[in-house]
Amino acid sequence: MTPTALLTYSVKPRGGVVHTLHLAEALHAAGYPVRVVALGEPAEGFYRPVRAPCTVVPAPPPAPTLEERVFASVDALARGLAGLAGRYPILHAQDCISARAACLVRDGAHTVVRTVHHVDDFTSQALIDCQRQAILEPDTVLVVSEAWRRILREEYGIRATVVHNGVDSGRFQRASRRLAAAVREGAGAAGRPFILTVGGIEPRKGSDTLVRAIALLRARDPVLAVVGGHSFQDYRAFREGVFSLLPGLGLELGRDVVLPGTVADAELPAWFAAADVFAFPSTKEGWGLVVLEAMSAGLPVVASDLPVFREYLRPRRDALLVPQGDPEALAGALASVLDDPDLAEGLRAAGRAVAARFTWGASAAEHQAIYAALDQGSHQQAGSHRGGT
């Protein structure tokens, strides 16, 4: 088994970081030599305890522009890796920043693996180029869905391998009902329909579409809770734009739309357990890990009709899928779940069955097979070189 470092750009609960930690823990539990390396504050560590070896490399000081933050982060992570990389022949990066850092420290003894979860819509040419290099430079590229495998082949000429996400279903099934009741009351949703979304307010999450849909449900007096919000990018202008919509839509921030922000990891299952329906009107996703988390909790899901979701969701059987950017369709689907107990119960049962198909243990086993093949290939290549001298 080849020691492997899993690299990520943050210690905060974003999708790629969540993926990295669960994968590392599953590999570690299987006896695989793995270490997580991330940028953050070493004294604070990750957003939750990690059941695998980990190293937090000091993050650079805040910088005024996204370009400066990205390139400073690449350099900082590369410096931190320089002292560790010798012990880990496989450097497995989970994002653009960590991929560029891994390639900076790569030498003949290293293999760089990159998982592409999705591709960001950067507008700066420097960042577009940086992201492209972070896809083209690694030795092996993985993706979490067939849709992104096709995109990388067509747009980058890369042949990627699909390795699916997993979910810790038991964690969400064990949510405290008492805490869930407290969450619901604290959100002002006692006696009101409670709609949950996770991921913060940002363009990719379709937040503007979602608040417009909530406004169309005003007769039912629902509460929308938006959990999460930490992001490397600065979405303040978009957030303010969404907030500015609320008065004209007849919605009040703090009453109809509540923002708990990034909640404690131990409390997250209770938020799923407290809600009546999960809304996920994203415009782009690599897989939608949070959808599996909602389904594990028995929460009916209404999501955008994206190709990645159709890889594991059957419309109207496992989830309700609506056209992207269509608030009327989104509102109609949410209303159907709220008004039809039989539909909601069918979605709950089907969703639990979907989530049960995806485990971190299975994902870790797929990764181990890939690492083993890479290790065998490197030994064969080294042997051929030795044989020729």
User: What pLDDT band is residue 377 in, cutting at 50, 70 and 90?
Assistant: low
User: What's the full length of the chain, in residues?
Assistant: 389
Residue 265's Cβ-side half-sphere holds a number of Cα atoms within 13 Å equal to: 13
CA 19 – CA 176 distance, rounded (Å): 24
Strand boundaries in 86-130, DSSP class E: 90-93, 111-116
Rounded (5°) CA angle 45-20-380: 120
- HSE of 174 in the Cβ direction (CA atoms, 13 Å)? 5
pLDDT given at position 139: 96
Task: Name the DSSP class of 47.
Answer: S
Domain edges within the chain:
4-166+359-387, 169-356
**What six digits make up the tokens of 279?**
């809304």
Give the tens place of pLDDT for each residue, 130-168. 999 999 999 999 999 999 999 999 999 999 999 999 999
What would the mean pLDDT of 332-350 be, rounded to a whole number? 98
Q: In this predicted structure, what is the pLDDT of residue 386?
A: 31
Spatial neighbors of 206 by CB under 8 A, at least 6 apart, are: 281, 282, 283, 304, 324, 325
Which H or E run includes 156? Answer: helix 146-156
Please name the residues in contact with 244: beta carbons below 8 A apart, sequence gap of 6 or more: none
Q: Which two tokens stand for residue 258?
A: 């509540």
Identify the CATH assignment for 4-166+359-387 out of 2.40.50.140, 3.90.226.30, 3.40.50.2000, 3.40.50.720.
3.40.50.2000
Which amino acid type is present at position 161?
T
Say if CB 97 and CB 70 are below 8 A apart.
Answer: yes
**Longest alpha-carbon distance in the chain:** 80
* pTM of the predicted model as reported, rounded to 2 decimal places: 0.92
Q: Which position has the higher pLDDT, 123 or 257?
A: 257
pLDDT tens for each residue of 350-367: 999 999 999 999 999 999
CATH class of 169-356: alpha beta
Per-residue confidence at 192, pLDDT binned at 50, 70, 90? very high
In the structure, what pLDDT confidence band is assigned to residue 388 with cuts at 50, 70 and 90? very low
In this prediction, residues 313-322 reach a mean pLDDT of 97
Domains 4-166+359-387 and 169-356 share a fold: yes
Mean pLDDT of the chain: 94
